[in-house]
Amino acid sequence: MKKNMGTIDRIIRFTLAFVVAVSYFIGFISGSAALILGIIAGIFLITSYFGVCPAYNLFSIKTFREVKE
């Protein structure tokens, strides 16, 4: 798959996933909220790692800028 996520988008997703993880470990979130946010954070980590978001493909969104030499 071609990348469709830019660097800033990937950093934001990684940061949000990190905030959810820290919130869980310090006890700020728990129960169902922790489970749902944990799943979303996991998806954010995977998509930011690979640089591909299936939802972006669905809606034809592209924040990745190709470098032309």
> Do the domain assignments include residue 65?
no
pLDDT one digit per residue (tens) for the chain, 69 residues: 788 999 999 999 999 999 999 999 999 999 999 999 999 999 999 999 999 999 998 998 888 887 777
Report if residue 50 sits inside a domain: yes
In a domain, 2, yes or no: no
Given a contact cutoff of 8 angstroms between Cβ atoms, the answer to whether 16 and 44 are in contact is yes
Residue 26 lies in a domain: yes
Range of the domain at 54: 7-58
Domain count, the chain: 1
Tell me if 68 is assigned to some domain: no
Radius of gyration over every alpha carbon of the chain, rounded to an integer in angstroms: 14
What pLDDT, on the 0 to 100 scale, is given for residue 67?
A: 75
pTM tops 0.95, yes or no: no
- In the prediction, which pLDDT does 23 show? 96
pLDDT at 2: 85
Q: Judge whether 24 lies within some domain.
A: yes
